[in-house]
Structures are given as structure tokens and as C-alpha cells.
Amino acid sequence: MKLNSYRDLIVWQKAMELVKKTYSVIALLPKEEKYALADQMRRSVVSIPSNIAEGYERNSSKEYIHFLHIANGSKAELITQLEICQMLGYVEDVTSIIALCDEIGKMIHSIIKKIGEKEVGFKG
């Protein structure tokens, strides 16, 4: 299947789904977290699909990989923030959202690996 846009990437689509689910969690946070944890979570989750898209639109594989690493780092931040929400009792269970994060992380890793193999001429 030919990709015409970053919007065709399943990893980007799943990252957009993650945004929606994370915003649902953010809506449950108490007011005192509005400018702390909630803002940090918004930045982290929005960074994931944004960096996937920006990297895809760059002119080099090296830059694409760079932005995928940033997206993956933001994913790790978000997982930590979700676990903090659960630890503090703001939400009961974040397991399904973390599972989606893990799935996205595996997809990002797979893309990085494929691009890296092409860059160095591997055929495996």
C-alpha cells in the first residue's frame, strides 16, 4: 500500500486515538492539577502524533528517525504521567491506555529499524 500522507500511517492514527483517550483522563483530574500534571500530559500526548507527522514530512531518513525518537520519548513521559495519575488516585485504571502507548512504541521502533536497515543497505 502506497502512503500518500502521514495520515495514512497506522502509527499516526493510533497516536491520534491516544490523544483522545488521554484527554478523557485529563478531564478527570482535579482543578489543582490543571496547570501542572494536566498541561504536561497534554504536551506529551500531542507531541507523539505531531512528531510522527513532522518526521514523515522531512526530507531525510535521518531526520525522520530523529523525530520518531522524540515521539517515543514523549510516549515514555506520558506513560509515567498516567501512572502518576493512577498512583495519586485520580483515575482507577490506565492499563488500556498504557497498552496503547506500548503498541505505538513498538510500531515506532519497527519503523526506525526498517528505515535504519534501508539506510545501511541491509536486505533483512
Alpha-carbon distance of 20 to 18, in angstroms, equals 5
1 — pLDDT class (breaks 50, 70, 90) = low
Q: What is the pTM of this model?
A: 0.92
Average pLDDT, the chain: 94
Q: Number of folded domains in the chain?
A: 1
CB count within 10 Å of CB 17 equals 14
End-to-end CA separation in angstroms for the chain: 20
Residue 12 lies in a domain: no
**Could you list the residue range(s) of the whole structural domain that residue 111 is in?**
31-118
User: Tell me, what CATH number does 113's domain have?
Assistant: 1.20.1440.60
Is residue 96's pLDDT more than 80? yes
pLDDT in tens, 17-76: 999 999 999 999 999 998 899 999 999 999 999 999 999 999 899 999 999 999 999 999
